[in-house]
Amino acid sequence: MKVVMIGSGYVGLVSGACFADFGHDVVCVDKDSKKIDALHKNVMPIYEPGLDTLVQRNVDAGRLSFTTDLTEAVSGADAIFIAVGTPSRRGDGHADLSYVYAAAEEIAKAADDRTVIVTKSTVPVGTGDEVERICGETAPGKTLAVVSNPEFLREGAAIEDFKRPDRIVVGSEEEWAQDVMREIYRPLYLNESPILFTSRRSSELIKYAANAFLATKITFINEMADLCEKVGGNVQDVARGIGLDKRIGPKFLNAGPGYGGSCFPKDTLALLKTAQDNESPVRIVEAVVNANDLRKRAMARKVIAALGGEARGKKVALFGLTFKPNTDDMRDAPSIAVVQALTDAGADITAFDPEGMEEAAKLLPDVVMTDGPYEAASGAHAVVMMTEWDAFRALDLGRIANVMAGDALVDLRNVYNPEDVAKAGLSYSGVGR
């Protein structure tokens, strides 16, 4: 089948490359000519493990191509996926749908009759109805089915998630559109990945509900970590103890500095706005958003406490800057709030991140980026484990102690054993221990 991806960012590029790997003919479209030129040279706009190899393989096989020409790309397409950005709108927290609606209008003008238009972007409930209205007004003589098909990709594991998904959600009640979607996802269906057909509005809500629930799990275990610190418990034991309950499960129960990234912060806010607009408050999600915002600043206070209560004139080294490992994504990363708070307190910051320093430098101009963890730690009064990259899991703690000016190791991801840290001559501060 011929599949077109409108938007060649994280979702569009990963999805397009994976569809091509299934054997479909895929065209990825983007208005950014520099991005398309780079993709023609197999230079990825994002860091995602294995993506460059996957893209090159399918380009070489003739199944994947890139263009800025939407009109030419959609000609003869069976399905056109909208995978453009939906950032939080400034001022009110609503999802900015302007890119989605602009894409829908362009698609409707250029698409053939009886084409399926799929919203892959994360959009609030009712967006599909508006896309359908736009398509009907723009091309009243065409039969265009608007389908919701949310993505559930984890940054750093997106290819695996796409090819071996827990489920595929398709929001459409039109039989012919469902048949097209079944054919597109047939390779996954043969692997027994379940396809859940729902109404379009239910599909849109599933994405937000899933992310809000996962954000709730993260926030819950972080609050249990705070309680553990007060009463003498160990949050890792608590997480293991409740995670063994099959009704709860072990995932997303790692205490840390709070959630960040491109999805959870904006999606929880968008869900809150949808609930408020429909006079159906989601108070649990509201509490999660507030608690997570407070969490990030609290981590800076933990670092200052490890410095003896005074950060002015002290040097702090951050190990990791991205919101999670195996990505260069700095959007809403907890490190941003931590750096801001430490800088406000008078600290000087150095940092090392295996992939995120180029993006981080744009957001954190006062942070001195270094060539490695030992260089970052040199002369530091405190080292902060910010992101649990594999590269930080087996560091020479003795070497770190030797190059530091102080002795504080603040482990915001509970990567290290406190006894091992103490043996190296460092003072340990973890989360929920």
pLDDT in tens, 356-381: 999 999 999 999 999 999 999 999 99
Average the pLDDT over 300-321 and give the result: 98
Torsion of CA 294, 296, 301, 307, to 10 degrees: 180
Average the pLDDT over 333-337 and give the result: 97
Q: Where are the domains of the chain?
A: 2-198, 208-290
Confidence of residue 427 (pLDDT cuts 50, 70, 90): very high
Please state, rounded to an integer, the average pLDDT across all residues of the chain.
96
Average the pLDDT over 344-359 and give the result: 97
Residue 92 has pLDDT above 80, yes or no: no
Q: What confidence score (pLDDT) does residue 89 get? A: 82
Average the pLDDT over 192-213 and give the result: 96
Percent of the chain predicted with pLDDT > 90: 97
Average the pLDDT over 114-142 and give the result: 97
pLDDT digits (tens, 9 = 90+) for 265-284: 999 999 999 999 999 999 99
Determine the Cα–Cα distance for residues 286 and 268; give it in Å rounded to an integer. 8
Q: What confidence score (pLDDT) does residue 93 get? A: 77
Q: What confidence score (pLDDT) does residue 90 get? A: 75
Confidence of residue 422 (pLDDT cuts 50, 70, 90): very high
Q: Are 366 and 343 in contact (CB under 8 A)?
A: yes
Task: Return the HEC string of the chain.
Answer: CEEEEECCCHHHHHHHHHHHHCCCEEEEECCCHHHHHHHHCCCCCCCCCCHHHHHHHHHHCCCEEEECCHHHHHCCCCEEEECCCCCECCCCCCECCHHHHHHHHHHHHHCCCCEEEEECCCCCCCHHHHHHHHHHHHCCCCCEEEEECCCCCCCCCHHHHHHCCCCEEEECCCHHHHHHHHHHCHHHHHCCCCEEEECHHHHHHHHHHHHHHHHHHHHHHHHHHHHHHHHCCCHHHHHHHHHCCCCCCCCCCCCCCCCCCCCHHHHHHHHHHHHHHCCCCCHHHHHHHHHHHHHHHHHHHHHHHHCCCCCCCCEEEEECCCCCCCCCCCCCCHHHHHHHHHHHCCCEEEEECCCCHHHHHHHCCCCEECCCHHHHHCCCCEEEECCCCHHHCCCCHHHHHHHCCCCEEEECCCCCCHHHHHHCCCEEECCCC
Check if 135 is active-site: no
Q: What confidence score (pLDDT) does residue 178 get? A: 98
The CATH code that applies to domain 2-198 is 3.40.50.720
Residue 80 has pLDDT above 80, yes or no: yes
Check 18, 28, 135, 263 and give the catalytic one. 263
Confidence of residue 117 (pLDDT cuts 50, 70, 90): very high
Determine the Cα–Cα distance for residues 139 and 300; give it in Å rounded to an integer. 54
Q: What confidence score (pLDDT) does residue 271 get? A: 96
Confidence of residue 193 (pLDDT cuts 50, 70, 90): confident
Determine the Cα–Cα distance for residues 29 and 87; give it in Å rounded to an integer. 19
- Which is more confidently placed, 191 or 67? 67
pLDDT digits (tens, 9 = 90+) for 22-42: 999 999 999 999 999 999 999
Confidence of residue 94 (pLDDT cuts 50, 70, 90): confident
Is the entire prediction scored with pTM above 0.85?
yes
* CATH 3.40.50.300 for the 208-290 domain, yes or no: no
Percent of the chain predicted with pLDDT > 70: 100
Average the pLDDT over 223-230 and give the result: 98
Q: What confidence score (pLDDT) does residue 88 get? A: 87
pLDDT digits (tens, 9 = 90+) for 37-58: 999 999 999 999 999 999 999 9
| Residue 83, both tokens | 């995978």
